[in-house]
Amino acid sequence: MSQRYCDRVIVVDDGSTDGTGSIAAATGALVLSHPRNLGKGAALRTGLGKALNLDCPITITLDGDGQHDPRSIPRFVQAIQEKDADVVVGSRYATLAEAMPFARRLSNLMTTKALRLLYGVPVTDSQSGYRAFTKRVLRTIRVRSNGFAAETEMLIDAKRAGFRIAEVPVATSYGEEKSKIRALRDIARWVLTLIRNLLYRPRFLSQNE
């Protein structure tokens, strides 16, 4: 993957017990390990922070469960270049969203609608973990939450900071893996995240500075 679609692969081993870190390192990936499971937001904070330190012009995030096809990576790069986008989200709804488990569709629908209504975030798949960020986005926004709510906060912050957000269609493969998302619990957390962000408004530098 590193030679065909990108220059460098960073893997965040978030306290796994299945040898993920060793396997990834053996393939040539740069592995960053957490001593225990801290959550998706914490993994994103570690991985994106490293990419920023490495001065990567474009950073693309993929979930580690094999659902995201790396062959879609060029679409994200093309969207940044041709659409002058700063953040690109991979939308599963542009392909075969009916394959998505019901609990994920429910939570995704609710949060996506709320983000559009409350913040004007122009996406159809707010919970997609397949995303691309330019360097200036990573320099501006911060991953605050440790859990899944981090992905929602990042879109809110990017929109508030004036960054251009675009989408590209992506295919997703759902196998026998068990989702870590719990619909009722995580919907409640996302609602709290939306409310908290209505009250908390971080200040961002102008994109012209």
Residue 206 has pLDDT above 50, yes or no: no
Q: How confident is the model at residue 175 (pLDDT cuts 50, 70, 90)?
A: low
Quick one: DSSP state of residue 62?
-
Determine the Cα–Cα distance for residues 183 and 94; give it in Å rounded to an integer: 22
Measuring CA to CA, which residue among 25, 3, 21 is closest to residue 13?
21
Reported as a single tens digit per residue, the pLDDT across 7-18 is 999 999 999 999
CATH homologous superfamily of 58-199? Spore Coat Polysaccharide Biosynthesis Protein SpsA; Chain A (3.90.550.10)
SS3 3: helix
Determine the Cα–Cα distance for residues 177 and 169; give it in Å rounded to an integer: 22
Residue 209: the pLDDT is 41
**CA 132 from centre of chain:** 8
Measuring CA to CA, which residue among 54, 45, 40 is closest to residue 9?
54
Q: How confident is the model at residue 93 (pLDDT cuts 50, 70, 90)?
A: confident
**CA 13 from centre of chain:** 16
Determine the Cα–Cα distance for residues 202 and 77; give it in Å rounded to an integer: 28
Compute the average pLDDT of residues 23-42.
Answer: 94
Structure tokens at 31: 């592995």
Compute the average pLDDT of residues 180-197.
Answer: 68
**CA 176 from centre of chain:** 22
SS3 172: strand
Of all residues in the chain, the percent with pLDDT exceeding 90 is 56
Residue 60: the pLDDT is 97
Residue 48 has pLDDT above 80, yes or no: yes
- Residues 6+ positions from 85 with CB-CB distance below 8 Å: 79, 132, 164, 165, 166
Measuring CA to CA, which residue among 129, 133, 148 is closest to residue 90?
129
Residue 40 has pLDDT above 80, yes or no: yes
With contact defined as beta carbons under 8 Å apart, do 26 and 3 qualify? no
Compute the average pLDDT of residues 141-162.
Answer: 91
Reported as a single tens digit per residue, the pLDDT across 94-137 is 555 555 666 667 667 778 888 899 899 999 999 899 999 999 99
Residue 4: the pLDDT is 81
Compute the average pLDDT of residues 127-153.
Answer: 92
Compute the average pLDDT of residues 75-81.
Answer: 96
Runs of H (alpha helix) within the chain? 2-5, 20-26, 40-53, 73-82, 102-119, 135-140, 149-160, 183-199
Compute the average pLDDT of residues 140-153.
Answer: 89
